[in-house]
Structure 1
């Protein structure tokens, strides 16, 4: 945990270690002693966190707000039991920053905030333990914690603080990295390890040790003998771009994870409201495939049924908690279509088909490619639908934008008891002009070893829409690899507002030996669009199909202010001010419908002057699936650069801004005087 997001990219305070610090109670051992301990796996760590810890942490939903208090913590423990989360595997109820007073007492001891925790931490621990759960606490490997108030950190007080935690009944310590005074990270975290070992020896209470130094010192290379888990990245935020960035940084670290030593890509944001349920299912699926700790970061007292359904999915949790302890490995990742496979103790494989892109994608692999032995057929279980199928070896699905299909595949000899898996697909997402029919072709393919019999297909749209099949929507039987293709026309009523609308493709079929018909469903997004006007128009004045942005919304004719809509300033690049354009923050993508009627996109592009000398961005123009123009990396020191692209014949044009490859903050990219000629 670090301070909430600000417009600066770093939130820690690093100073110089002073002689007075070394005289504090419980001072750290010498570097030589710390080195001596690095190769020894402490006895206290044996048997701890053999599967990734599961629980709750308040930070993502409350920060230091007044709702973080004794009543909330005990209420979460109650909900773990009442909502079935305890029985699903969640056990830790963890306090984050702001639980203490800003100053220690006269004896140098930590003092719980009497307003937030009037009965003290031990009483809360007792309450949580009485529920059959465990309590976690937080401090920092520095002189102060990470909140803006700066509560007492443990640097120089490790043995005293660890003793207090054990005496209170704490079962889990999250140890942050703020105000660390420049002391070597390994030394700081080793000292607390040794302090916890001593506290455990005195009290008999083992404490799971969560190292939270943000991945700055590559803890995966040294922390397996120190703690049970270590943060691999900086803080997660409740938005798609943050979750995606963290996911990509954590995936390559699979070789370092295992029972009792886990890569930690930070807490869950599921249910906090910044992402869609589809994105939250991806978040939960991928954290589970990566054998990551599952620490709920939303206020369960306010959780929707959808949120609770995601968090309590036992099929997915079983992937995370598999005792073999393997982190999933990337099998392929071409063009944002990811296949990640996790070896399971029973010999099966959990396979995530993850779609990074903003449009539905077919993602496919095979049983052999994910490491399964050759077999006549396999049992495939869809872990979100909770249904079993058989497959001849293909693992494939049309995955929605930002979605994940998570399956578990095994060479089970009982595969024939299940219906064949079928893949539903379409030839794209239709672009619909209200009042005009648009065409769409659906395909249902048998992936199983057995035939899909008496197959019927339907397509439905919103109320008032007209959907008609223009070719056969039925088949007597589909053999392995067989496909039924159906052509449809889709018409939105006159006056339908622009935007995205769901069409639902359904398939029903039987199978030899099956007592009930199997079903398959695919949601297809139709976009109602408006043809572009003739002549040359400013893009800031035209409706877009979609817009995604790194921080805050894309702004029309102003810069990006990072937060609420309308908080930007006049677009200014290299001292030149522009009245028209688009203000973005990388990574950003703005999509326009051009209907094969336009010829050119032009703009002056660059980093907005409001961000000083920090920004680095790159601009791209895409015509359908082809990159038609790009600038390379631009910095704030550069004046606006012209960019122009021939988009003749393109149905869709996308304006893309990347962060220049350095992942820094302050990447405000302006499309100044952006124009479209049709």
Structure 2
């Protein structure tokens, strides 16, 4: 399992000692062992938590992702979050739980073995906080670990051996939700430990009348989806999320195949939301929220709502998307198709409709498509298609498709009903290729609008809106009187950026306006990122010295001329593979992709690749070079035991070259990859 970076105060320490060693250390045998002996096996007893809890995925807040154990995590913050839930409409949207994570307690129990809230952070105690949260019509959650200590490096008391006492304290305080982590578990069987707390929570509920939602957080190590349905209400399926595209994507891919195990009162949990923490774009955060909702995942806000932007609140408060997550049928979305980074995921809804996510994993716009029948809908003359982010409805003859921005998701609710006759036709709007512009030099690009509706689209007009000082001129017709079902309008454009435009991304909008046969006005809008690029230098140059178009990385930023340090830029070490130190190159962490503009002017990319020595025996990485979306070269899986491998690719004629590091098929733990001595010849 992955060791978190030193800067992160929370450490996962999973003990490898047998439970018997606790006795040798002077500790009593764990209550987990005592509580389950009579049952024969941990999950055999028929002792379950109260029914009726978490019938839809829990929604709320957890402080860890935004504050960890910093001083700002205190009573005032928690009460403030409860206030914001009410003031900003989040309570109305369905958010209920205000959850405390690690560091709320003192490092030692009192003389009676009881947990003691930190008086500096919580001077009024946990019950006072619970009372305040309850007064707002909300619920309070708390955290501990199924081990001798929690996951923080300071080592706060865990519940192993204290399950009954701790559960009773939580219930007495008015706690409504328990997150139960996995650190310092001393090698005790996971089922045994988590069943012990289940039974303790049940006993506490019987004495206090307070039911507690039980969140199992053992990181998916023991496949809890196979055994925890009668133990807890939700279970983590992955290791911790971080505020990066690569982390979110990796976790999503691990959680998607587990759909059959989810349902009312038993949810796959791919960890908290990072929406608003700043490490991803709003487009990526909308994908994060869309995919968690279609996966029927718990929606626990992980950003500091006191600092939330209007854009963050718009994402978190989208009630049409929340309704997908909270649908009472309780189905997790299933993958309909996935090819070359284009994903279709469909979720059956209680009213018979389907919610469909068209997700684009790649770094450039892609057309993602399916049909109503492929998502499980019955045959019909036409369908109503509702865009849950644009809040607009259309009719479709059965095709469900969109040009999806890089890292974006179009989320649609599709219904087979007669209401389609009242909606304008759905259209697909797209741009052929990336909009890469050298300053002062016209770039040619083509757009296309296609009618996917059952009815015709009338008076169709397409525009390309560019930044001030730019020019966009249609060089072929951009209007048409009518488009029948399946017909398209293709338009060629010349786009010119000013000669003094600085390299980097710029916002461009492609828009189609039209009318339905009944005269209703409609439009489709496709946001596009145009890149002002610089022609690659002639000769051979180090890629570590060249500007890239985009870079995504598993942990921390891509590093120039050093290894990946996992946190901030510049925190890596010299690039070292098999004992050889390299002066130049790139340090990455799988999953990673770095794109360069080559402008059809280059011939070859070369590098010495491998897993950096700093990871000792851990990590495995596979390296790939792509040219204009086609794989040009690749290695097999490389490990720290292997010396650097030469990798070379012919990239003649390619406008964009992409360097990819994958996880080798075994997860991203310690996958520090080096593109040592990476060179581009032009």
TM-score, normalised relative to structure 2: 0.96
Give the match for residue 545 of structure 1.
Answer: 549
2:582 corresponding residue in structure 1: 578
- Alpha-carbon displacement from aligned partner over 1:59-99 (angstroms, at most 9, x marks no partner): 11111111111111111111111111111111111111111
- Structure 1 stretch displaced more, 26-35 or 170-179: 26-35
User: What displacement does 1:21 show?
Assistant: 7.1
Aligned partner (choices 246, 265, 273) of residue 251 of structure 2: 246
1:283-335 per-residue CA deviation (whole Å, 9 max, x = no partner) reads 11111001111111111111110111100100000000000000000100111
Which range is displaced more, 255-264 or 645-654?
645-654
Any conservation in 2 of the 1:391–1:448 contact (CA below 8 Å)? Answer: yes
Q: What does 1:159-198 correspond to in 2, within 5 Å?
A: 159-198=164-203
Matches within 5 A, 1:313-328: 313-328=318-333
How many pairs does the alignment contain? 677
- For 1:601 and 1:642, the matched residues in 2 are separated by 11
Q: Secondary structure at 2:498's aligned position in 1?
A: coil
Q: Paired residue for 1:653? A: 657
In structure 2, the residue matched to 1:16 is 18
> What is the CA-CA distance between 1:602 and the residue it aligns to?
1.9
Residue 561 of structure 1: which of 556, 562, 565 is its match? 565
Report the CA distance between 1:624 and its aligned residue. Answer: 1.5
Distance, in Å, in 2 between the alignment partners of 1:25 and 1:655 is 50
| Pair 161,568 (structure 1): closer, same or farther in 2 beyond 3 Å | closer
- Aligned 8 A contact 1:45 1:227 in 2: no
User: After superposition, where does 1:190-589 map in structure 2 within 5 Å?
Assistant: 190-514=195-519, 516-589=520-593
Deviations 1:125-176 (A, max 9, x none): 1111111111111111111111111111111111111111111111111111
Greater displacement, 500-509 / 392-401:
500-509
Stretch moving more, 405-414 or 33-42:
33-42
| 1:68 to 2:69 alignment | no
Deviations 1:163-208 (A, max 9, x none): 1111111111111111111111111111111111111111111111
Q: Distance in 2 between matches of 1:366 and 1:460?
A: 31
Pair 1:602-2:592 in alignment: no
Between stretches 361-370 and 586-595, larger displacement belongs to: 586-595
CA distance in 1, matches of 2:196, 2:101: 21
The CA deviation at 1:28 is: 4.4
**Would the alpha carbon gap of residues 613 and 197 (structure 1) be closer, same or farther in structure 2, given more than 3 Å must change?**
closer
Of residues 615, 620, 623 in structure 2, which corresponds to 1:619?
623
Give the distance between the partners of 1:40 and 1:551, measured in 2 at CA.
42
Whether 2:62 is the aligned partner of 1:57: answer: yes
Residue 34 of structure 2: SS of its match in structure 1? coil
Distance 1:41 1:485 in 2: 64
Distance 1:473 1:314, change over 3 A: same
Asked if residue 667 in structure 1 is aligned to residue 666 in structure 2, the reply is: no
Instruction: Find the residue that maps to 2:530 and give its secondary structure.
Output: strand
CA contact (8 A) 1:34 1:191 kept: no
Q: 1:557: Cα distance to partner?
A: 3.0
Bigger mean CA offset, 150-159 vs 16-25 = 16-25
| Secondary structure, aligned partner of 1:670 | strand
Deviation at 1:115, TM superposition (A): 1.1
Describe the shift of the 1:25–1:581 C-alpha distance in structure 2 as closer, same or farther (beyond 3 A).
closer
Distance 2:560 2:157 in 1: 45
Query: Structure 2 vs 1, CA of residues 36 and 589 (structure 1 numbering), >3 Å: closer, same or farther?
Result: closer
Instruction: Choose 601-610 or 280-289, whichever is displaced more.
Output: 601-610
Rounded Cα–Cα distance in structure 2 between residues aligned with 1:130 and 1:124: 10
Cα separation, 2, equivalents of 1:107 and 1:578: 58
Do the aligned partners of 2:102 and 2:152 also contact (CA within 8 Å) in 1? yes
Looking at structure 2, the residues matched to 535 and 339 of structure 1 have their Cα atoms a distance apart, in angstroms, of 43
Q: Cα distance 1:176–1:568, how it changes in 2: closer, same or farther (>3 A)?
A: closer
Partner of 2:144: 139
Alpha carbons of 1:440 and 1:556: their partners in 2 closer, same or farther (altered >3 Å)? Answer: same
Q: In the TM superposition, what whole-angstrom CA distance separates every residue of 1:203-245 from its partner, at most 9, and x where no partner exists? A: 1111111111111111111111111111111111111111111
In structure 2, the CA distance between the partners of 1:196 and 1:185, relative to structure 1 (3 Å rule), is: same
Q: Does 1:96 align with 2:101?
A: yes
Q: For residues 43 and 623 of structure 1, do their structure 2 counterparts lie closer, same or farther at Cα, with a shift above 3 Å needed?
A: closer
| Cα pair distance change 1:646/1:176, threshold 3 Å | same
After superposition, the Cα gap between the structure-2 partners of 1:42 and 1:480, relative to the gap in structure 1 and judged at 3 Å, is farther
Partner SS, residue 414 of structure 1: helix
Cα distance in 1, alignment partners of residues 680 and 182 from structure 2: 49
Q: Is the 8 A contact 2:36 2:196 kept in 1?
A: no
The alpha-carbon distance between structure 1 residues 88 and 468, as it changes in their structure 2 partners (threshold 3 A), is same
Tell me: CA distance 1:562–1:47, structure 2 relative to 1, closer, same or farther (3 Å): closer
Counterpart CA distance in 1 for 2:267 and 2:210 is 21
Change (3 A) 1:13 1:447: same
Structure 1 residues 21-30 or 267-276, which shifts more? 21-30
| Contact 1:600–1:644, Cα closer than 8 Å, also in 2 | yes
Structure 1 residues 445 and 655: CA distance shift in structure 2, 3 A: same
Could you list the runs of 5+ residues in structure 1 that have no partner in the other structure? none
Q: CA deviation at 1:42?
A: 4.4
Quick check: 504-513 or 220-229, which moved more? Answer: 504-513
Most deviating of 217-226 and 594-603: 594-603
Q: Cα distance 1:101–1:509, how it changes in 2: closer, same or farther (>3 A)?
A: same
Unaligned 5+ residue runs, structure 2? none
Is the 1:2–1:12 Cα contact (8 Å) retained in structure 2?
A: no
Q: How does 1:25-64 map to 2 (within 5 A)?
A: 28-35=33-40, 38-39=43-44, 42=47, 44-64=49-69
Residues 230-276 of structure 1: CA deviation (Å, up to 9, x unaligned): 11111111111111111111111100000111111111111111111
Following superposition, the deviation at residue 41 of structure 1 comes to 5.2
Partner of 2:118: 113
Aligned partner of residue 38 in structure 1, secondary structure: coil
Shift of 1:44: 4.1
